Structure 1
């Protein structure tokens, strides 16, 4: 019988071997197109989907799958501690101090994987792509006889779970009242890169009997104590804004409605402050601070292995971090979508001066693993990360993003979203 260490190594090696040497095209594009057409999406939206999806799948080992689950559960357990919440909310804007009865939909845990297991690169509270990846599951073919049981999920099953999640959010805040109308809110939504996903979400919710609007926050109004869009009363707002504290003038009506409990907002500023502020990673990867918060030794060990050491940048450590920059990645505390992030070996002195003037963290680099893929029948290695969509500590869905360049993007030929399978 193999010992635990060798079993772990062999299992991880099998998944890694598949990622490097399996060049199967698992995506059945005609079936995907048929699924999309069934949603009655506009032709121009269907054309946009080509750049969103890769034609291959990604593999992880059973050990990595268990490590992913453990890391997510540990983070959620630690962030629920009163001492942790007091620490992070003390530096958060006032609006984030409003405690939320809801859990927050579509938390996204982004991982890089290596021989030591998965590592959390960042946590997001309005992670995009869940509905897209649900429909992607409907158009996959078996690959190398290597796919295990997860995530062998049917698209309707995943979508039903998403709908149940939103109904649960509503019940947590409003009890037995009926959820009649959801508004998916983002700035100029039809111009957003993931606008096709908004349309998919709208289709899913409306098939479940929930009227669904896609709205710019500037189009909202408060009438007789209710948030409305063109006289339609809104019950719940699915928040896709990147103005996480609702400070921009265009979001003032939504902010008023949230502060006065006129609507259920998910995710909301409280969730962002608790989970997605990049400064939290510095706390979650600091052994001394975790001990001070009363975190158990077992949870501390899990976090130190699974979260790259992250530091707040200050005048005190700036010179040291500059010297160590080639091993670091620099991110704005309130960043999203890889905007204004810099790999340390690529930054100039000018950029460094800008970083020092901003609110940045420095994170130890964990290079992404790679997925072999055929592009124009040529073998190419793309970088990859893995995203876990999480609700209430449970992973609902895994997806990978394949790309070239410094950070994830959807401009790489052959890249895009890919389903994740456990390699037996």
Structure 2
């Protein structure tokens, strides 16, 4: 049997590690920002019925242009969009990969502000695109002035802006997007600016979307996913809104019939029930805000979050805390940020289980209580 080092990998892939997060069958899984709330039963029945109907014609290829699905996404997003503005793929990661395949590649660069979603540099590497990571401020925010200065300095071909940011949850003001877009108009060309709104539905009510900035900005793309707010992670459906010329460009790099008939049927059914599917978003926001409040009360340092997760500091030994929680059937996320961890806002019961366990094991994972040193019980739920 050979091993990886025996294979003729591309030089730029040698030594790379694949994306991954721990997977374990535990009662409380709060590590990959899934939606812990199940799909409503009546919606599930409609999805099953539509997928069953698709089986009857599965001997034929699916609609290559996924026309009905693009129309459904346009109706859901609003903002005057129509099917010509919409693209979709098997998860937002594939959408981002299509963007890099079309506009990146050898001799081209992708810039983002770190720490951010760990798939960005991996997608860059997989498409031969040079990765440029520009550090954020100490509180993980980005100012319009600093963002524009970084773009003018590096003049990248593609810019990814995560809004709200993963893994920090940091909101992204529209002023930053506007400043980046303006700065990306170079004397000899212009960059593609992608706003990754995977967690947009969890932002506070009234938070404006980058979708409102699309008119008059033909190189601005807004990416979304059904994995999070729609509780559709297992279905693998991502999408974007952009100028129709962008969707034409993405057709050049997609695989033929890349969205199966089953994927299209399931996504159309879910979108037909969008109000019901998003009914749990308010409860998730409540638990997210509860995490911020009660982690602070325990002596940890939670960061502002507009997503369905919370990053918190003040952890003396993140790996020991990870293992101690796992031993109690609770899975959260270690991140590559010293003294910090990330936890998804789950159901009220899951959130309570996490907070209670964290209060018991303490910041070193050895039962020393909260960062202040005294063991305590986490406050009750909402």
TM-score (normalizing by structure 2): 0.33
Flag the structure with more relative contact order, 1 or 2, with Cα contacts below 8 A and sequence separation at least 6. Answer: 1
> Comparing both structures, which one devotes a greater share of its residues to strand?
1
TM-score (normalizing by structure 1): 0.31
